[in-house]
C-alpha cells in the first residue's frame, strides 16, 4: 500500500482513541520518533509537546531503554508470572523500592494505569474485609478526576465527565467536590468541607479515598493546593480508611519533585504509578502498597490478592523499566523541570490577555491554556503543520507536558504554537465530533 492507501485503510478499519471509526482518520502517519521529535511519512518533523500522552519522559527511543529491550528479547520475551519469577521483575522491584518513598515497598505489577487503579481499589476493599469490615466496599473520589477507562477506573473518575454513557455498568461510589483552591493561591479551609462531609455521611461504607495528588489530568488539567492532601491524609487516619494516590500522570518529576505527594510531604497507603515508568517505551504500571496494607491482607483468612493479568511483570517491560529508572536516577530531572517550569511561565502567563483565554496554569513540566471556547480541529491542524509542534488539545484545554529533556528553544516553539491556537477563532459546537478529546 502507498501512503494514501495506508491512511485510507486506517480510516476504514482501525479505531483511534476517543474517535469515531470513520471520517476521523489518523491525521499523521508516524514514521520514526527520536528524542523530542516525531517524523511523519510525509516529511513533517513534530516536537512532541505532550510526551505521547505524558509517558515519554526521557524522549522517544532513548538508546538505553531500546538496548535493554533488545538484550532482554534475546533471552525471553514473556513468561507467565504465575508459578515463575525472573530476574528483570526482581531487579525492577529492587530499584522501585529504593526509588519510591520509604514504606511503599509491596509491588503488584500491572499492564496499564487503569489496571493499577483497579488493583488499588480491590486492594483497599480486601484490606477492609481482612480487618473485619466487609461492608466497607465503596470509595470516595473527587469530581474532576480521571483514573482510566476500564469499568472500575471509570467509576472513580468524574461522574459527569467523559464516561457518562457507561453509568449503567459502573459500580456506585461517592464523590466530593474537586479542590478549588489553586496551587498558586493561599489555602482556604472551606475547600475541604465537601470531602469531610462525604466521609462523615458514608463512613460505614468507605474503604478508601482516591485522588490524583495536586494535578488532576484527563478531566480538566487542574492544579490544586497541596494542603488539601495534608488534610486528606489526616482525615483518612482519623477515620480508619485508606488513602490511594494515583500518580500515574504526576509521578516521575512531572510536577517538580519525584512524586507529586512530596508537595504535601505525605505518604499514601496505596500508590499507583505508570506512564513514565518505562519511559513510554512499553505499557506497564504498578500498584504499590504499604507494609500495613500488604500484611493485613496476607495474614487474613483470604490471603491471596485476587488479581493476575496475563502479561503481569512482562520481562521486556521490566527491562525497559529498569533502564528508565536508571535514567531517572542518573539525570538531574529536578533541575530540568525547574528550568522547563520557568520557561513555561515566561511564555504562557502573558497569554491570560488573549481574548479567548479563560485561565493559564503552570506547575513543573505542565502548562495549560484554558480557552473560553475551542477552535476547530482544522485550525488546530493548521497550527501543528505550520509550527512543527504536535499538540493534542481536548475540550477547551490547550496544554503541554513535554519530555523532560526538552530544550528552552523547543519550549519556546511549543508555547508559540499554543498561543497561535489560542488566537484562532472559536469553532461552533458540534456534538460528537470532538476527536481531539482525551
- Cα three-residue angle 313-103-58, rounded to 5 degrees: 50
Determine contact, residues 287/110, Cβ cutoff 8 Å.
yes
Alpha-carbon gap, residue 24 to 435, rounded angstroms: 7
pTM (two decimals)? 0.96
Q: Is 189 part of any domain? A: yes
CB 225 within 8 A of CB 178: no
Task: Give tens-digit pLDDT for 185-203.
Answer: 999 999 999 999 999 999 9
The answer for residues whose C-beta is within 8 angstroms of residue 326's C-beta and 6 or more apart is 64, 95
Which is more confident, 355 or 12? 355
The enclosing H or E element of 289 equals strand 285-290
What pLDDT is attached to residue 27?
80
- Say what angle helices 87-99 and 315-330 make with each other, to 10 degrees: 30
Domain end, chosen from 310, 330, 350, is at 330
Is 160 assigned a catalytic role?
no
* Angle in degrees, 0-180, between the axes of helices 193-202 and 227-239, rounded to the nearest 10: 20
The full DSSP string for 90-107 is HHHHHHHHHHSPTTEEEE
Question: Where does the pLDDT of residue 1 fall: very low under 50, low under 70, confident under 90, or very high at 90 and above?
Answer: confident
Does the structure show a pLDDT above 90 at 22?
A: no
Mean pLDDT along residues 38-62: 97
**Class of residue 178 by CB neighbours under 10 A (exposed 0-12, middle 13-18, buried 19+):** buried
Residue 47 pairs with which residues in a beta bridge? 37, 389
- Would residue 79 count as lying in a domain? yes
Choice among 17-31, 216-230, 335-349 with the minimum mean pLDDT: 17-31
Q: How many Cβ atoms sit within 10 Å of the Cβ of residue 301? A: 6
Q: Is the pLDDT of residue 436 over 60?
A: no
Q: Is 377 helix (H, G, I), strand (E, B) or coil?
A: helix
Model confidence at 434, pLDDT cuts 50, 70, 90, reads very low
Which candidate in 18, 295, 345, 359 is catalytic? 18
User: Could you tell me if 98 and 121 lie in one domain?
Assistant: yes
Same domain for 26 and 120?
no
Residue 139 domain-assigned (yes or no): yes
Residue 102, in any domain of the structure: yes
Nearest-angstrom CA–CA distance, 401 and 55:
9
Q: Does one domain contain both 351 and 406?
A: yes
C-alpha cell at 312: 503481569
**Residue 80 is part of which domain span?**
65-330
Round to whole Å and give the CA distance between 19 and 438: 10
Among residues 191, 246, 269, 434, the one annotated as catalytic is 246
For the chain, the average pLDDT equals: 95
Q: What pLDDT score does 110 carry?
A: 98
* Among 99, 104, 106, 33, CA closest to 65: 33
- Residues 164-177 have a mean pLDDT of 93
User: Over 50: is that where the pLDDT of 219 sits?
Assistant: yes
Residue range 403-412: mean pLDDT, rounded: 98
Q: Are 111 and 36 in a shared domain? A: no
SS3 category, 291: helix
Give the pLDDT score at 309.
Answer: 94
Q: What angle do CA 84, 86, 87 make, to 5 degrees?
A: 165
Please indicate, yes or no, whether residues 347 and 375 belong to a single structural domain of this protein.
Answer: yes
With cell 468524574, the residue in question is 158
For residues 276 and 242, is the Cβ–Cβ distance under 8 A? no
Q: What is the CATH number of the domain that holds 9?
A: 3.90.1150.10
Q: Name the active-site residue from 106, 138, 275, 374.
A: 275
Cα 265 to Cα 229, 260, 427, distances in angstroms: 9, 9, 43
| Residue 211 and residue 192 in contact, taking contact as beta carbons nearer than 8 Å | no
Residues 337 and 323 reside in one and the same domain: no
Please say if 246 is a catalytic residue: yes
Say yes or no: 242 and 357 in one domain: no
Residue 39 near residue 33, CB atoms below 8 Å: yes
Mark whether 97 and 165 lie in a shared domain.
Answer: yes
- Residue 438 is predicted with a pLDDT of 42
The verdict on whether 146 is a catalytic residue reads yes
Nine-digit cell at 326? 536508571
Per-residue pLDDT tens over the stretch 301-317: 999 999 999 999 999 99
Structure confidence at residue 24 as a pLDDT band (50, 70, 90): low
Q: Which of 109, 127, 129, 146 is catalytic?
A: 146
Q: Give the CATH number of the domain where residue 70 resides.
A: 3.40.640.10
> Is 275 labeled as catalytic in the residue annotation?
yes
Q: Say yes or no: 190 and 318 in one domain.
A: yes
Measure the N-to-C terminal CA separation of the chain; round to a whole number of Å: 30
Q: How does residue 114 score in pLDDT terms, banded at 50, 70 and 90?
A: very high
Helix, strand or coil, per DSSP, at residue 392: coil
Choose one of 330, 357, 381: the last residue of a domain: 330
Last residue of a domain, one of 269, 296, 330: 330
| Count: domains in the chain | 2
Model pLDDT for residues 252-272, shown as the tens digit of each residue = 999 999 999 999 999 999 999
For residue 438, tell me if it sits in a domain: no
Question: Is residue 296 within 8 Å of residue 123, measured between CB atoms?
Answer: no
Amino acid at each position: 500500500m502507498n501512503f494514501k492507501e495506508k491512511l485510507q485503510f486506517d480510516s476504514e478499519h482501525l479505531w483511534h482513541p476517543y474517535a469515531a471509526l470513520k471520517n476521523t482518520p489518523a491525521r499523521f502517519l508516524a514514521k520514526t520518533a527520536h528524542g523530542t521529535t516525531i517524523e511523519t511519512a510525509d516529511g513533517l518533523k513534530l516536537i512532541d509537546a505532550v510526551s505521547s500522552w505524558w509517558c515519554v519522559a526521557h524522549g522517544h527511543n532513548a538508546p538505553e531503554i531500546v538496548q535493554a529491550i533488545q538484550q532482554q528479547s534475546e533471552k525471553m520475551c514473556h513468561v507467565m508470572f504465575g508459578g515463575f519469577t525472573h530476574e528483570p521483575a526482581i531487579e525492577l522491584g529492587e530499584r522501585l523500592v529504593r526509588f519510591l518513598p520509604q514504606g511503599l515497598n509491596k509491588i503488584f505489577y500491572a499492564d496499564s494505569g487503569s489496571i493499577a487503579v483497579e488493583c488499588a481499589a480491590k486492594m483497599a476493599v480486601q484490606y477492609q474485609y481482612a480487618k473485619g469490615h466487609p461492608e466497607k466496599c465503596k470509595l470516595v473520589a473527587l469530581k474532576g478526576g480521571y483514573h482510566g477507562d476500564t469499568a472500575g477506573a471509570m467509576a472513580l473518575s468524574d461522574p459527569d465527565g467523559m464516561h457518562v454513557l457507561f453509568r449503567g455498568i459502573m459500580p456506585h461510589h461517592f464523590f466530593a467536590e474537586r479542590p478549588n483552591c489553586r496551587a498558586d493561591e493561599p489555602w482556604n479551609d472551606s475547600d475541604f468541607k465537601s470531602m469531610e462531609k462525604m466521609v462523615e455521611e458514608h463512613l460505614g461504607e468507605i474503604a478508601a479515598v482516591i485522588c490524583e495528588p495536586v494535578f488532576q489530568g484527563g478531566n480538566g488539567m487542574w492544579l490544586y493546593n497541596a494542603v488539601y492532601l495534608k488534610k486528606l491524609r489526616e482525615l483518612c487516619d482519623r477515620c480508619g480508611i485508606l488513602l490511594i494516590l494515583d500518580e500515574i500522570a504526576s509521578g516521575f518529576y512531572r510536577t517538580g519533585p519525584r512524586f507529586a505527594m512530596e508537595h504535601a510531604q505525605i505518604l499514601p497507603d496505596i500508590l499507583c504509578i505508570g506512564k513514565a515508568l518505562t519511559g513510554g517505551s512499553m505499557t506497564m504500571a504498578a500498584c504499590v502498597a504499604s507494609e500495613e496494607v500488604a500484611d493485613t491482607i496476607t495474614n487474613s483468612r483470604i490471603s491471596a490478592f485476587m488479581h493476575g493479568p496475563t502479561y503481569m511483570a512482562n520481562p521486556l517491560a521490566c527491562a525497559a523499566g529498569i533502564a528508565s529508572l536508571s535514567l531517572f536516577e542518573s539525570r538531574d530531572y529536578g533541575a530540568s523541570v525547574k528550568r522547563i517550569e520557568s520557561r513555561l511561565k515566561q511564555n504562557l502567563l502573558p497569554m491570560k490577555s488573549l481574548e479567548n483565554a479563560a485561565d493559564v496554569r503552570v506547575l513543573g513540566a505542565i502548562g495549560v491554556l484554558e480557552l473560553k471556547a475551542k477552535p476547530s480541529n482544522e485550525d488546530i491542524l493548521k497550527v501543528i503543520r505550520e509550527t512543527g509542534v504536535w499538540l493534542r488539545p481536548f475540550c477547551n484545554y490547550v496544554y503541554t507536558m513535554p519530555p523532560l529533556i526538552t530544550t528552552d528553544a523547543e519550549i519556546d516553539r511549543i508555547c508559540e504554537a499554543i498561543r497561535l491556537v489560542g488566537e484562532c477563532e472559536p469553532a461552533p459546537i458540534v456534538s460528537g465530533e470532538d476527536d481531539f478529546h482525551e
